[in-house]
Amino acid sequence: MSGSVSGLVRDEKDAVATRSPVKRSKLRLYDLIPTGTLGLRARRTRAVLSALGIAIGIASMVAVLGVTRSSESHLLAQIDRLGTNLLTVVNGDDLGGTEVALPAAAAPMLRRISGVLGVAPTAQISTARVYRNDQIPTGQTGGLAVRAADASLLDTLQGSLKSGRFLTSADAPVAVLGSDVAKQLGIVRLDLGTRVWLGGHWFTVAGVLDSFTLAPEIDRSALVSFAAAKELLDYDGAPSRIYVRTDPDQVTQVAGLLANTANPANPFQVKASRPSDALTAQIAVKQSAGALFLGLGAIALLVGAIGIANVMVISVLERRVEIGLRRTLGATRMHIAAQFLTESLVLSALGGLGGVLIGSGVTVALAMAQDWGIAIPPSAIGGGFGVAIVSGVLAGLYPALRAAALSPTDALRTTG
């Protein structure tokens, strides 16, 4: 009897030993996306709105970086083209806003400074204004000025003509118009008899200038020759603004000598400036504004991430039955967490991709409208998408852990 009992025990042990072990549930990688997007496909409108929050934040950041970089590239190209070796010498303005005259010998003296490549004297004629015809009241100046200049101005400023020709020493009643003056007077094209009423005399318009980025006062002026200014406009021969083109390697040295050379008697009244510094200041201002808008974009991104987290928490509450059934059928806590984290990642990835496309599109449209070169930093595209992914991870982490913590019995209890 004892032998039969021991035999049965051995047979039971052998059966237990040969029984196949219970396999743990596995979630294959290629099943993760269909499972993780189940909730998104069931609630498409809510998914689109949630992704839109991330898209707005990423689009703002990409557009700010792209527009700022495109604008900077345009300004830097202007600086490279126009050079940083142009200096301007003035003696200040009087109470009426008219430039104060410099000594008559200022221009010849400045030409003697070592490192000076070109000097172009100009004089604002305070007693003259320019009009389209002689029927316009004299008080309606439109902010347009009259300046005396010579042929050296175009070379020193490295400017160009839109149409016609520039001044010569033989010109008497002839004027060349700055770009703003031509627009304000309505002169679109030059005909043989195009004239303007200037300082009480008719002047034939010989040419129209292109815009001068480094000398905007020229854009707002009608230019006449020194000979015409003396003969018809009571010009006394003293310049009021002198442009100096220097050797690029000696800009600082030349700038330090301009005041004493232009007006030795009162050098402290003379102001020497470099117009390209204004463009450099514009770059700094644009960078500061870009940083501000970048911060606003980051706030929008934070709001979008919070929106995703809120949606995911609601999704966990709505899908407690689904979670309980999956746990009952063998899904582990890790599987549940991976499902909801994948859902959050897909939402943020879609939002990030949409934001990059929207931001890039805004940059391209604005750059084309402003005639800038398109410069979207690769870091803005890659960084924007990466930030969206990280935001999705952070936004979905708590809901995923909360879903994984639900026990099957607690989840299924909500069915009643």
- Backbone dihedral angles phi then psi of residue 148, each to the nearest 5 degrees: -95, 140
Helix intervals (H) in 83-158: 106-110, 152-157
How are beta strands 241-246 and 116-124 bridged, if at all? antiparallel
The whole-angstrom separation of Cα 127 and Cα 233 is 7
Separation between Cα atoms, residue 248 and residue 337, nearest integer Å: 64
Between CA 383 and CA 406 the distance in angstroms is: 35
Q: What's the pLDDT score for residue 301?
A: 75
Tracing tokens 């043989």 back to the chain, one arrives at 192
Whole-structure pTM value: 0.61
pLDDT at position 95 is: 59
Q: Which two tokens stand for residue 378?
A: 């690769």
Query: What integer pLDDT is reported at residue 290 of this predicted model?
Result: 67
Counting as low any pLDDT under 70, the low residues of the chain are 1-32, 35-36, 38-39, 78-83, 93-97, 276-290, 292-294, 318, 410-416
Q: Cα–Cα distances in Å, from 101 out to 46, 268, 402?
A: 71, 14, 79
The two counts, helices (H) then strands (E), for the chain are: 15, 11
Task: Look at the block and give the residue holding tokens 């004089």.
Answer: 123
Nearest to 273 by CA among 247, 287, 254, 286: 254
Q: ∠132-135-137 over CA atoms, to 5°?
A: 95
Rounded to a whole number of angstroms, the CA Rg of the chain reads: 38
The model's pLDDT over 215-244, given as tens digits with 9 standing for 90+, comes to 889 999 999 999 999 989 989 889 999 999
CB atoms within 10 A of CB 357: 15
- Beta-ladder partners of 145: 221
Q: For residues 281 and 287, what is the distance between their CA atoms, to the nearest angstrom?
A: 10
Domain ranges for the chain: 27-77+281-415, 85-275
Cα separation, 395 vs 351, whole angstroms: 13
H helices present in 113-267, as ranges: 152-157, 179-185, 216-219, 226-232, 251-262
- Specify the length of the chain in residues: 416
DSSP state of 246: E
What are all long-range contacts of 102-106, with beta carbons under 8 Å and residues at least 24 apart? 102/238, 102/239, 102/240, 102/242, 102/262, 102/263, 102/270, 103/238, 103/262, 103/263, 103/265, 104/237, 104/238, 104/239, 106/239, 106/242, 106/261, 106/262, 106/263
Rounded to whole angstroms, the maximal C-alpha distance in the chain is: 146
